[in-house]
A and B are shown apart, each in its own frame.
Chain A
């Protein structure tokens, strides 16, 4: 009996949580429950991010998505979930069609994902009695916050010596997208605040 690879065990745990709660969002007809299942699904996705070594993105997922976007969504649900709107059911025929097409797409995507040899995972680890196991070429520490922060400022510390010298000018940082996203957020916040303002009731 081979020892359990705990990384794989936790991947299976978080992956199962993500998938089950994502399907629960689709299946349930109560919008308040949908919002809660979505929170759980996105929280489990953050766990998957941590398992992939992307700790910065995982922390941002928890902060921005679970702690921001979903709270916003729940406010929206609370403001509009009056009596008859909590459970709006879809017809049976639509469910059948959606399930067939969704199932076909899912099968296609999973088959494609497993068809690339390189994506199957690091070389399988053989267990010899009494010997330390060596996974093939584990990368030395991969710090994610510093390269990401510096990349956003325009310095790509992980691509200092590009393989092809003529591609070097194109490997700039992400400073321009960073600025664009900042202005985009400003515009979005102003626009959303204006759109959702309370309007004065017209006196009859």
Chain B
């Protein structure tokens, strides 16, 4: 089994990141619960983080001089912090919506529909 005996590279990490990203995008598109949409957003951001960290690692490439180094890790840190902030605001909005409409179904959020 080639994957078990040979070292893994950036491409393998990016493949897992792609699965996370697509799962998050499908979650955002299909869930009716507003909190489900938020979880999709978290998945998407984590997929992107995995990409950044993989590209910034020196252990996963053929030519280690090309890795992003600390840049990849720092950008991933900023993404984590900003995702946490955005999750807090989105949850506050969802709670407000729930308090006003007694539902978290996004299909019922059509007050502004023309």
A interface with B by C-beta (< 8 Å): 2-5, 7-9, 11-12, 15, 18-19, 22-23, 25-26, 31, 34-35, 38, 41-42, 45, 48-49, 52-54, 56-57, 60-61, 64-65, 68-70, 72-73, 75-77, 79-80, 85, 88-90, 94-95, 98-99, 102-103, 105-106, 109-110, 113-114, 116-125, 135-139, 142, 144, 147-148, 151-152, 156, 158-159, 174, 177, 181, 184-185, 188-189, 191-193, 195-196, 199
Contact = CB atoms under 8 A, between A and B. Distances in A.
B34 to A, nearest CB: 8
Contacts, number: 283
Name which of A19, A26, A69, A189 has the most chain B CB atoms within 10 A of its CB. Answer: A26
Contact of A177 (B7, B78, B98): B78
Given A23-B23, A38-B43, A110-B18, 15 more contacts: A2-B5, A5-B4, A12-B4, A34-B35, A42-B46, A49-B76, A53-B59, A57-B80, A106-B22, A118-B66, A121-B8, A121-B62, A122-B7, A177-B78, A192-B89
Contacts of B87: 69, 72-73
Contacts of B33: 31, 85, 88
A26 B62 contact: no
Q: Looking at B10, B50, B60, B88, which has the most chain A CB atoms within 10 Å of its CB?
A: B88
A73 B35 contact: yes
A49 B17 CA distance: 11
Contacts of A76: 35, 38, 91, 94-95
A52 B60 contact: yes
Given A52-B59, A98-B29, A109 B6 contact: no
A34 B36 CA distance: 7
Interface string B1-35: 00111111111111110111111111101111101
Main secondary structure of the interface of B (DSSP, over half): helix
Interface string B58-69: 111111101001
Given A38-B42, A102-B25, A151-B74, A120 B30 contact: no
Nearest to B31: A90
Contacts of B13: 11, 15, 48, 52
Given A22-B19, A90-B32, A114 B74 contact: no
Contact of B57 (A54, A72, A195, A196): A54
A144 B70 contact: yes
B73 A57 contact: yes
Question: Which DSSP category, helix, strand, loop or mixed, fits chain A's interface?
Answer: helix
B59 A139 contact: yes
A18 B63 CA distance: 27
A110 to B, nearest CB: 5
A25 B43 contact: yes
Contacts of B109: none
B35 A19 contact: no
